Chains A and B, each alone.
Chain A
Amino acid sequence: MSDSAQLNHTTDERIKEFSKLRKALIRPELGGIVGTVAVFTFFLLFAYDSGMFNSRGIMNWSIVSAQFVIIAVGAGLLMIAGEFDLSVGSMIGFAGMMIAIFSVTLEWPVWVAILVTFAMCLGIGALNGFIVIRTGLPSFIVTLAFLFILRGLTIFLPQVIVRKTIIGGVKDVAEGDWLAVLFDGKILTGLFSWLGEEGLIATFERGTRAGQPIVSGVPMLIVWAIVLMLFGHFLLTRTQFGNWIFAAGGDAEAARNSGVPVNKVKVLMFMMTAFCAAVFATCQVMEFGSAGADRGLLKEFEAIIAVVIGGALLTGGYGSVIGAALGALIFGVVQQGLFFANVESSLFRVFLGVILLFAVILNTYIRRIITGER
């Protein structure tokens, strides 16, 4: 069997050749790609003059999209592994509040505050996973409990400690901190000022920063989004662990019979989701300079919607990280685009509901194609 055993593929006359369209349809990213093209086409046609596509406008929707991407990567991997995490939004609020309490109220160095917060979030993620594995309860219920537990603590702790639900002043203490820069800094500032000098992007015309570009660089938030997306995609499609993620979500019992450490995979994916929530929270706290008890509200659902638009099946075992990221991009572009196009922002929710329904129906249809169910 050393050299290519001569495979002489006789074709079975009963196997219908799949049409190109059907073949393309079973790629999980397809919905995301089509949606992205549609959304950009729409806004290029109807909101081109609104400033949505100048440097500031692009940065505006890119940042919002990047936020969605960060949590969608975690939620996507977890959903493919067959579980949900409804505590993502509360975790964002909780993590932000912890950083603020540690760094501002307790006056710890910011990098210590960030590291301790990440450790706590990973611990809570692991606990979520552990409870799901041990009790066999649906993760939906377990993480719903943590949605309330964490949100409650996020409101309770600052009230007890400083009698407020918003803690500010993070920006001042984070000044010059080596770890905070990883969440707050900007890269490619040189490129952007060159672009500004060349007149390729808009610059300030007056004031102390006259001549400098309005958009001075790519925020770390966007870098995190891209890095997490590439990492997740690579992990899922190119590694042994990725195969285990699909297997754990596809059929946990069958995977166990084949020697896949399903419990380990699921717990690690809960931790991955928690990590993504902590990244989101840290970026947000560093950007706003404050932590509020209501941060991250409804983010868990937005993450799940982005993942579903990206082609993942709610039942697990099928999906794509790139798809989830495209779902997040659609999300961000539409949310900000409606604002640029001067459309009443409440309509965004209507759009969201419609596209969610459409995506789920499409995914179910695709599932039938793959599994041959009728």
Chain B
Amino acid sequence: MNQEERPIIQMHNIEMHFGSVIALSGVSIDLFSGECHCLLGDNGAGKSTFIKTMSGVYKPTHGDILFEGKPMHFDDPRNAIKAGIATVHQHLAMIPLMSVSRNFFMGNEPIKKVGPLKLFDLDYANRVTMEEMHKMGINLRGPDQAVGTLSGGERQTVAIARAVYFGAKVLILDEPTSSLGVRQTANVLMTIDKVRKQGIAVVFITHNVRHAFPVGDQFTILNRGHSMGTYRKSEIDQNSLMTMMAGGEEIQDLEATIQGEK
């Protein structure tokens, strides 16, 4: 639907070598605002390496990255965050013992000046946190509720809401559903959908096609550092995605083997 628009990020022929290991060999994707781009692949396929080149953690060995049409060179992940590329990691940047609102504004505390003193504006922080969490469909007991009492899915949502609130244009989600139950996964997928509808480009990394398919607009499959192609949702179905991810017929073979043994 957004194909006429210019992509917000273009990654062209990205190669990444670690010593003698070729982690990525020529992967290209185009990211559009308001779309969810799913990056699928088994463990070790190069998904994490690929997004780390996008978020400025690694510099690709070869290849170009264009951000809003201009070549992008981030020396530091912090510059990427400032430019609007936010990553929500598998291991969240959340501190269980601290309250939701203290976590939400961690590193970006709102300041209230009282005379010469610069105070942490807790009232403002609490109010915004409650509003933002409510928008995402989470009702907190209170802004002082500790993050440790939230479920895994709720924590993911807090992290996503935080990135969005602080102006992310591109949101990279690294395996947000991998350790969640069915219901919590559904909640996180709903959150992804809400974020996408706000016009943010979402990169959703997962090895679970059934999680990716409902929210994805485009799907790129990685296998051992190679791209197996990018498909729009209308061009492909879940089974073909699954087959490509497994790198051919392995799953079917496996199925046959197991059935045969019965």
Chain A residues at the B interface, C-beta cutoff of 8 Å:
1, 4-5, 7, 9-12, 15, 18, 26, 238-240, 242-244, 246-247, 250-251, 253-255, 257-260, 313, 317-318, 367, 370-373
| CB of B117, distance to nearest CB on chain A (Å) | 8
- The answer to whether the Cβ of B252 comes within 8 Å of any Cβ in the partner chain is no
Q: Report how many A-B pairs have Cβ atoms within 8 Å.
A: 91
Q: Would A372 and B148 count as touching, CB distance under 8 A? A: yes
Instruction: Give the nearest-CB partner of A238 in chain B.
Output: B119
Instruction: Report the separation of the CA atoms of residues A47 and B203 in the bound assembly, to the nearest whole angstrom.
Output: 70
Residues of A within 8 A of B105 (CB): 243
Q: Which of A11, A370, A371 has the most CB of B within 10 A?
A: A370
Chain B residues with CB under 8 A of A372: 146, 148-149
Would you call B83 an interface residue if the criterion is a C-beta within 8 Å of the partner chain's C-beta atoms? no
A1 & B97 in contact (Cβ 8 Å cutoff): no
Q: Is the CB of A254 within 8 A of B93?
A: yes
Within 8 A of A (CB), among B86-112: 89, 91-98, 102, 105-109, 111
Q: Are B107 and A259 in contact (CB under 8 A)?
A: yes
Query: What B residues does A367 contact at CB under 8 A?
Result: 97
A11 touches B111 (CB 8 A): no
Complex Cα distance, B120 from A244, in Å, reads 11
Q: Which of B93, B96, B118, B146 contacts A240 (CB 8 A)?
A: B118
Query: For the complex, is B139 an interface residue (Cβ under 8 Å from A)?
Result: yes
Q: How far is the CA of A7 from the CA of B78 in the complex (A)?
A: 33
What A residues does B111 contact at CB under 8 A?
Answer: 240
Q: How far is the CA of A317 from the CA of B146 in the complex (A)?
A: 12
Residue of A nearest to B108 (CB): A259
Taking a contact as CB atoms closer than 8 A, the residue among B98, B119, B141, B149 that contacts A317 in the complex is: B98
Task: Report chain A residues within 8 Å CB of B93.
Answer: 254-255, 257-258
Of B81, B92, B98, the contact of A250 (CB 8 Å cutoff): B98
CA distance A317 to B98 in the complex (A): 8
For B127, the closest partner residue in chain A by CB is A4
B252 CB, nearest partner CB in chain A, Å: 41
Residue of B nearest to A15 (CB): B141
A195 to B258, CA, bound (A): 93
Tell me if B106 and A260 are in contact (CB < 8 A). Answer: yes
Q: With the chains together, A300 CA to B193 CA distance in Å?
A: 54
Contact A1 B148 (CB under 8 A): no
A255 touching B106 in the complex, CB below 8 Å, given contacts A7-B131, A7-B134, A372-B149: yes
Q: Which residues of B contact A244 (CB under 8 A)?
A: 107
Q: Which residues of A contact B149 (CB under 8 A)?
A: 370-372
- Kindly identify which residue among A12, A26, A259, A371 contacts B96, using a CB–CB cutoff of 8 Å: A371
Are A250's CB and B97's CB within 8 A? yes
Question: With A7-B134, A9-B139, A243-B105 known to touch, is A255 a contact of B89 (CB < 8 Å)?
Answer: no
Across-interface contacts of B78 in A (CB, < 8 A): 259
User: Which 6 A-B pairs rank lowest in CB-CB distance, beginning with the nearest?
Assistant: A371-B148, A250-B95, A259-B107, A257-B93, A258-B107, A240-B109
Among B97, B98, B102, B130: residue with most chain A CB under 10 A: B97
- Cα–Cα, bound, A258→B78 (Å): 9
Cβ 8 A contact of B131, one of A1, A26, A371: A1
- Residue in chain B with minimal CB distance to A316: B97
Q: Given the interface contacts A5-B131, A7-B134, A243-B102, does A255 sit within 8 Å of B95 by beta carbon?
A: yes
State the Cβ distance, B229 to closest chain A Cβ, in Å.
33
In the complex the two chains form, is A11's CB within 8 Å of B139's CB?
A: yes
B95 neighbours in A (Cβ, 8 Å): 246-247, 250-251, 254-255, 317
Query: Within residues 135 to 150 of chain B, which ones have a CB less than 8 A from any CB in chain A?
Result: 139, 141, 146, 148-149
**In the bound complex, what is the Cα–Cα distance between A128 and B131 (angstroms)?**
43
Residue of chain B at shortest CB distance from A10: B139
Q: Which one of A15, A242, A250 contacts B120 once the chains associate, using CB atoms below 8 Å?
A: A242
B146 touches A371 (CB 8 A): yes
Q: What residues of chain B lie closer than 8 Å to A250, measured between beta carbons?
A: 95-98
Q: Are B102 and A239 in contact (CB under 8 A)?
A: no
* 7 more CB-based (< 8 A) A-B contacts, given A10-B139, A371-B97: A1-B131, A7-B134, A244-B107, A250-B98, A255-B106, A257-B89, A258-B106
- Min CB gap B24→A, angstroms: 23
B108 contacts which chain A residues (CB < 8 A)? 258-259
Jot down 9 A-B pairs with beta carbons below 8 A, ordered by A: A243-B105, A243-B109, A250-B95, A257-B89, A257-B93, A259-B78, A317-B95, A370-B97, A370-B149
B139 touches A318 (CB 8 A): no
Contact A260 B94 (CB under 8 A): no
